[in-house]
Structure 1
Amino acid sequence: MSALGSVVRSGVGRRRVQTVVITLVVAIAVTAAVLGGSLMVASSAPFDRAFSQQRGAHLTAQFDATKTTVAQLSASAKATGVSAAAGPFPTASISPVRDSGGGLPPMTVVGRADAGGAVDAVTLTEGRWVNGPGEIVLYSDGRLSEGGPLSKVGDVLRLPDLPGSPTLTVVGIARSVSETAGGWVDPGHIAALTAPGAAGGYQMLYRFTAADTTEQVDTGRAAVQASVPAGAMTASTSWLHTRLESAGNTSLYVPFLIAFGVLGVLMAILIVGNVIAGAVSTGTRRIGILKALGFTPNQVVRAYMFQALIPAVVGAALGVVAGNLLTVPVLSQTNRLYGTVDSGVAPWVDAGVVAGALALVAVTALAAASRAGRLRTVDALAVGRTPKPGRGYWAARLTARLPLPRPVSLGLAHPFAHPFRSTTIVAAIAFGAAAVTFAVGLGASLNQVQATQRHADVIIHPGAPNTGPPPGGGPHMITDEEIAAAAPDPAVVAKAVTGQAGTSGYSGVAQAEVTVPA
């Protein structure tokens, strides 16, 4: 064993280039595999993982404050089939306008003192939670345009429809996997955000013991409705509907993330296998020398396995560290996209990648060394690095007929003398080219999508006619005929828009009121 150990130590120390190459290749392969495996894990059922991590609501229910009380809604948490509940939270509908200009879509705001709770733990992606009146945390769906079409931290939203035109300062952007609100404010501020004469409302969030199907959610909804006064529940949303929408939102990204993961793992396997096989096969002559000195074939095979495994272990350790460092920022991006809260690489991914890499090195070295170990001592000394007799001769004869310098023709024929190794090299290069194409192409495409989503809209509104004060100073109602008469000619507007330098196109916008059920 001491003699075998000396051979291993001398082989690792003497073949420094080979040792460094194996270390670097294994490190790069493990890094790619850790990153690829983490991407595949992050892409697996992202909504379900986020829903579990944030304790999402199976049912989000809205109630009329004039038909029920806080005590009655709190008691509904004990309805049949309810495993957890949060609320009641007071609600209000607002139509904010940015102080910097531009209106926002009407939204429902919920009075909530903190982001946690037994149901729907809201995840802050920017800023902080509200500390008092006059502040708001806006909902973000986590897509490319961060904050969606709403606003950003620090913006001031004005509410011109309410008495005194109060304002709300955006102090945070948050993600709710259940999409329970457009924004969250201090509970004591809801009354000031409710329009005069408008009925107040409450929101309750429920988790059920069984909610995997529409029928089970409907059963839980019926139990909740039965526990409150008739007509008190005005609207409700099932988590299955939100889940279906989320699947459509992430369908663009998941295939690419999975593709990156698969390419990383395949490249790791091909590169490690090819390098280890080449490194061991170059030692065929030395194997013959060791056998001539009295080493058995098994001892020779073990010696070359350990010579490959020692630098492979060092490379695997370096690769795990590098893979984790690279994966953390990537996971932060997928967390923003999916709403998950993964803080790092799953330990089983690290363990599986290291075990797989070392097993691959051991198997590849065993196969290559066993082939050399089976050779007779004289053959191993004589053959050295030459390929098996007869292999690739047809290619050599064919390339010899080409009008090329002899070194070039020999080089063209060489890959056919080692077909397996040449195939793996071609495959590794192909997968690498595919990965680069994915990375560059997807990055450029998503940048264009992001730029498109963040472009500035210029909206031209036809102004109301300036009729002046009516005789006697009384109020004057502007008629539809007066508005139509004051509206500019669409052809004139189109000509003015297209005449602006840098304008490539425009679209018309019309508004209409519609009535829909519920």
Structure 2
Amino acid sequence: MRATLRWAHADLRTHRGEALFIVLATAGIVTSLLLATALFGYATNPWQRVFTQSHGAHVWIHTGPSADTRRLADVDAVESFAGPYPTAATAVESRGTRAAVELRGATEQPSTGRPLLVSGRWLDPAEADGVVLESSLARSLWAEPGDTLTVPGTARTLTVLGVADSAEPRYSPGERPGLVWTLPTAVRATAGRAGQVIGLRLTDPGDTDYAVQRAVTLLGAGAVTEVSPWQQARAEAQGDNRLLGQVLGLFGLGALVAAGLAVHGAIGTRIRGHLRDISVLKAIGFTPGQVVRIFLLQHVAFALLGAVLAGALTQALGGRVPGRLGDAVGVWQGLPGHTAALFSVPVAVVLFIAATTGLAAWRAGRVSPVPGLRAAAQRGGGLPRAARGALGLRIPSALVLGWHKAFTRRPRSLATIARLALPLLLIVVAMSAWTTIDRFHSRPEQLGLAAALTVRPDGGLSDAGVRALLDRNHQVTDVHPGIQVPALVPGQTGTIALRGLGTRRDPYPFSLAEGRAASGPDEAVAGQGLLDLLDVRVGDWVRVTVGAQPQILHIVGRSIEPENGGRVISTSLDTLRENDPGLRPTLYQLQLRPGADPHRVARELTTASHGRFDVHAVTNPADRLSPLRGVVAGLIAVLALIGLIELLTAIGGTVREGERDLLALKAIGLTPRQITAVTVTATGCTALAAVVAGTALGLPLAHWLIDAQGRSSGIGAGVARGPSAALLLLFGAAAVLGAAALAAVPAARAARRRLADTLSAAA
């Protein structure tokens, strides 16, 4: 054991850089996987916790005020219900921020779908205008208990008594109204659109679609205005946190495979370079098992050190990271499975690295105790015809010999290129993700975000009056009137958004990924989420119901829809007016001049309309994905470190294998500088081949992964954007030139070795 430890210590002193790289790479991989685990837990746990503690309803059904919703309590699948509650649609304002809300009349906190107070207190019958805000609405309004809200257009005020969490779909400006609990008398005193809502908790959550269909059939399709199932609320709550977790997990696993292969290659190269040392160890009494354990224990110790370091840093500092990652780690550390994950993830990584290390170390145990003489030259070893032709064209011999050296042993050369190409491939995928996010910011019109602002005027303004106010602002270039209403899908099991935007004379510029624009009567474009929900394709006809009125539309194109999970079908305002000639636009989508500040224009429009405009900037998904940039940068650093390990291994192997050729190269008249150029060229050719392979495979893989994520989120395929050609050329040039620069020093040192040293190395 003492001899084993002394040999391991001597080997560690010789390869300190390699050991440090393995430790850092393992730490980066384990950190990525732990953060991915934290984000997955953070994405699912908060909503699940609220749903469980509130005894949440599996579906909320909004109806007209006259519907007899109490009949739903007799449906077989219903375990319990909340409500029915009277509702009224209105708007509230706080500190200059306005939000569309749904007032819901309640007196006591129900047992099903119970709001969970996070601050303040519940409604008090003694305070007729007291309200409790849903937490996401309260954050948007910057409202706290004790604040006063105003109802635009009236002298009425509301007092915030409390803030509560709810498992229902959260507030989304311009898309979904916020939830406000108040007394029934306050709801009846509101002039907004009246209705009622009932929540159903089911005996089997998997039968939600069936239960909704039964409920709609019982009440009548004309009575139901909106259906909100629990799956939709959960998906919206998870949102981008789950995407971040998927990105971290995917790249963490890819980096783990790349690191395992890099360690495998490093050990294999070291074994080939230390055959005599291994033979000596066996000659003095080391068994094959002891030789295998030397290499195995060394690299397992490096991996274990990196894993422990990553776990300690994540546990101690993870919650202090600013932004969503820090919040995710803080929540994750309080979950029941936190300790198990903190232990199992590093252990799994160490075991994987140990498995790859064992495969390479097993070869060391097979080395003979009596080293054989190396052949002076390979069998059939002559320059190929292409190399001889290149020499005949007076191409420098160092370049020709370097290229020949890089690809002489095809199995070994291909294995080296494959190991080096894997981290480069993942870097290309990460760069594509970065480019796609940047494209959302720089070219939102290409990704379904042609409009920058949404204006919702109050009911007292005519269409001509709204347009006159909007035309006064010189930053507004195009105004597209429209309307968006909830509609029931065929089967009456869910609600989608039916949107009429623009006119046939002035169509709205939808971003189409498939098909064509809707230009004729009854033609529409739909998002990927709607196509998946209805199981239809471009070219099919669909029937949706708005209240009691059916709308039959021909889907002629698939649009990129970042809103509402892609569950949107869009047509022109003219098409909707064919069924209802008196239809008036309720919103206006505004396109601005390039470089205009949407928030500044929104303030100007609000001021010019004397508060009669509710103006919101169109939500850009890239704004919610800003933490992904830091994640991608960190992953690129980890992958670059793994690539550096593999590159140093390849350089070391090339230098060692070139020692036996040193005498021959000097004998044919090559100077030490030319011999150095041979090794540098061989390394550069290997790196170039890896860059070409990584780029050629990484670009289509990146498009497939990003589009697959787009399809699963409802946005749809067609959003992926690869890095520019200039960036790819810069990336490839940096990799090749960096490899050549790293190889220059060890190659020059080997080229200047004494002849006696060379003879002993070749023996």
TM-score, normalisation: structure 2: 0.47
What SS does structure 2 have at the residue aligned with 1:24?
helix
Counterpart residue number, 2:746: none
What SS does structure 2 have at the residue aligned with 1:267?
helix
Counterpart residue number, 2:357: 365
Counterpart residue number, 1:353: 345
Distance of aligned partners of 1:40 and 1:91 in 2 relative to their CA distance in 1, 3 Å threshold = same
Distance of aligned partners of 1:347 and 1:84 in 2 relative to their CA distance in 1, 3 Å threshold = farther
Distance of aligned partners of 1:93 and 1:168 in 2 relative to their CA distance in 1, 3 Å threshold = farther
Decide which of 190, 197, 201 is 1:207's aligned counterpart. Answer: 201
Residue 506 of structure 1: CA displacement?
2.8
Q: Tell me, yes or no, if the aligned pair for 1:57 and 1:178 is still in contact at 8 Å.
A: no
Decide which of 540, 548, 567 is 1:517's aligned counterpart. Answer: 548
Counterpart residue number, 1:475: none
Residue 267 of structure 1: CA displacement?
1.7
2:351 counterpart letter in structure 1? A
1:505 equivalent to 2:477? Answer: yes
Q: Deviations over 1:296-333 (max 9, x none)?
A: 22211111111111121111112234456787689984
1:313 equivalent to 2:313? Answer: no
1:268 equivalent to 2:264? Answer: no
Distance of aligned partners of 1:308 and 1:104 in 2 relative to their CA distance in 1, 3 Å threshold = closer
CA–CA distance in structure 1, aligned partners of residues 458 and 60 of structure 2: 37
Residue 431 of structure 1: CA displacement?
0.7
2:133 counterpart letter in structure 1? V
Q: Deviations over 1:4-33 (max 9, x none)?
A: 344445544664333322211211222233
Q: Please list, as runs of the form range in 1=range in 2, the aligned pairs for 1:248-267 lying within 5 A after superposition.
A: 258-267=246-255
Residue 243 of structure 1: CA displacement?
2.8
Decide which of 364, 368, 371 is 1:376's aligned counterpart. Answer: 368
Q: Deviations over 1:347-404 (max 9, x none)?
A: 5554553233222322222222222332223438x66xx9995699868984984834
CA–CA distance in structure 1, aligned partners of residues 156 and 2 of structure 2: 87
CA–CA distance in structure 2, aligned partners of residues 246 and 158 of structure 1: 31
Distance of aligned partners of 1:153 and 1:204 in 2 relative to their CA distance in 1, 3 Å threshold = same
Counterpart residue number, 2:22: 22
Distance of aligned partners of 1:453 and 1:128 in 2 relative to their CA distance in 1, 3 Å threshold = farther
1:95 counterpart letter in structure 2? T
Q: Please list, as runs of the form range in 1=range in 2, the aligned pairs for 1:47-126 lying within 5 A after superposition.
A: 55-60=55-60, 81-85=77-81, 87-88=82-83, 91-98=86-93, 104-105=99-100, 107-111=102-106, 119-120=112-113
What SS does structure 2 have at the residue aligned with 1:212?
helix
User: Which structure's residues are more often strand, by fraction?
Assistant: 2
1:406 counterpart letter in structure 2? A
CA–CA distance in structure 1, aligned partners of residues 265 and 9 of structure 2: 20
CA–CA distance in structure 1, aligned partners of residues 293 and 380 of structure 2: 28
What SS does structure 1 have at the residue aligned with 2:294?
helix
Residue 274 of structure 1: CA displacement?
0.8
CA–CA distance in structure 2, aligned partners of residues 312 and 267 of structure 1: 14
Counterpart residue number, 2:553: none
Distance of aligned partners of 1:24 and 1:40 in 2 relative to their CA distance in 1, 3 Å threshold = same
Q: Tell me, yes or no, if the aligned pair for 1:33 and 1:353 is still in contact at 8 Å.
A: yes
CA–CA distance in structure 2, aligned partners of residues 439 and 51 of structure 1: 35
Q: Tell me, yes or no, if the aligned pair for 2:54 and 2:111 is still in contact at 8 Å.
A: no
State percent identity of aligned pairs: 16
CA–CA distance in structure 2, aligned partners of residues 361 and 387 of structure 1: 36
Q: Tell me, yes or no, if the aligned pair for 1:281 and 1:369 is still in contact at 8 Å.
A: no
Residue 152 of structure 1: CA displacement?
3.7
Q: Deviations over 1:442-487 (max 9, x none)?
A: 266269769x7996667889998xxxxxxxxxxxxxxxxxx89xx6
CA–CA distance in structure 1, aligned partners of residues 443 and 327 of structure 2: 19
CA–CA distance in structure 1, aligned partners of residues 170 and 469 of structure 2: 40
Q: Deviations over 1:36-60 (max 9, x none)?
A: 4556777899988986686531243
CA–CA distance in structure 1, aligned partners of residues 380 and 46 of structure 2: 51
CA–CA distance in structure 2, aligned partners of residues 393 and 43 of structure 1: 61
What SS does structure 2 have at the residue aligned with 1:288?
helix
CA–CA distance in structure 2, aligned partners of residues 208 and 318 of structure 1: 47
Distance of aligned partners of 1:309 and 1:205 in 2 relative to their CA distance in 1, 3 Å threshold = same
Q: Please list, as runs of the form range in 1=range in 2, the aligned pairs for 1:81-480 lying within 5 A after superposition.
A: 81-85=77-81, 87-88=82-83, 91-98=86-93, 104-105=99-100, 107-111=102-106, 119-120=112-113, 128-130=119-121, 133=127, 134-138=130-134, 140=136, 151-153=141-143, 156-159=148-151, 165-169=156-160, 172=163, 174=165, 176-177=167-168, 182-183=177-178, 189-195=183-189, 204-213=198-207, 216-218=210-212, 221=215, 240=229, 243=231, 258-279=246-267, 281-283=269-271, 284-285=274-275, 286-322=277-313, 333=324, 349-379=341-371, 398=387, 401=391, 403-404=395-396, 406=398, 409-410=401-402, 413-414=405-406, 417=409, 418-419=412-413, 420-439=415-434, 441-442=436-437, 445=440
CA–CA distance in structure 2, aligned partners of residues 93 and 428 of structure 1: 56
Between 285-294 and 242-251, the greater mean CA deviation after superposition: 242-251
Distance of aligned partners of 1:179 and 1:351 in 2 relative to their CA distance in 1, 3 Å threshold = same
What SS does structure 1 have at the residue aligned with 2:206?
coil
Q: Tell me, yes or no, if the aligned pair for 1:109 and 1:183 is still in contact at 8 Å.
A: no
CA–CA distance in structure 2, aligned partners of residues 364 and 394 of structure 1: 35
What SS does structure 2 have at the residue aligned with 1:505?
strand
Q: Tell me, yes or no, if the aligned pair for 2:89 and 2:103 is still in contact at 8 Å.
A: yes
2:56 counterpart letter in structure 1? G
Residue 291 of structure 1: CA displacement?
1.6
CA–CA distance in structure 1, aligned partners of residues 430 and 376 of structure 2: 33
Q: Tell me, yes or no, if the aligned pair for 2:470 and 2:476 is still in contact at 8 Å.
A: no
Q: Deviations over 1:62-116 (max 9, x none)?
A: 7999999xxx98x99898654455x4475441522426668643523354767xx
2:402 counterpart letter in structure 1? L
Which stretches in structure 1 are left out of the alignment for 5+ residues? 465-482
CA–CA distance in structure 2, aligned partners of residues 374 and 413 of structure 1: 27
Q: Tell me, yes or no, if the aligned pair for 1:92 and 1:109 is still in contact at 8 Å.
A: yes
CA–CA distance in structure 1, aligned partners of residues 455 and 439 of structure 2: 26
CA–CA distance in structure 2, aligned partners of residues 118 and 463 of structure 1: 41
CA–CA distance in structure 2, aligned partners of residues 398 and 171 of structure 1: 81
1:31 counterpart letter in structure 2? T
CA–CA distance in structure 1, aligned partners of residues 352 and 484 of structure 2: 66
Counterpart residue number, 1:474: none
Q: Tell me, yes or no, if the aligned pair for 1:153 and 1:173 is still in contact at 8 Å.
A: no
Q: Tell me, yes or no, if the aligned pair for 2:148 and 2:160 is still in contact at 8 Å.
A: yes
Q: Which has the higher contact order (CA 8 A, sep 6+)?
A: 1
Distance of aligned partners of 1:392 and 1:84 in 2 relative to their CA distance in 1, 3 Å threshold = farther
Q: Tell me, yes or no, if the aligned pair for 1:267 and 1:432 is still in contact at 8 Å.
A: no
Q: Deviations over 1:415-461 (max 9, x none)?
A: 764331331111111112312331453266269769x7996667889
TM-score, normalisation: structure 1: 0.65
CA–CA distance in structure 1, aligned partners of residues 398 and 192 of structure 2: 92
Residue 507 of structure 1: CA displacement?
0.5
What SS does structure 2 have at the residue aligned with 1:96?
strand
CA–CA distance in structure 1, aligned partners of residues 292 and 322 of structure 2: 42
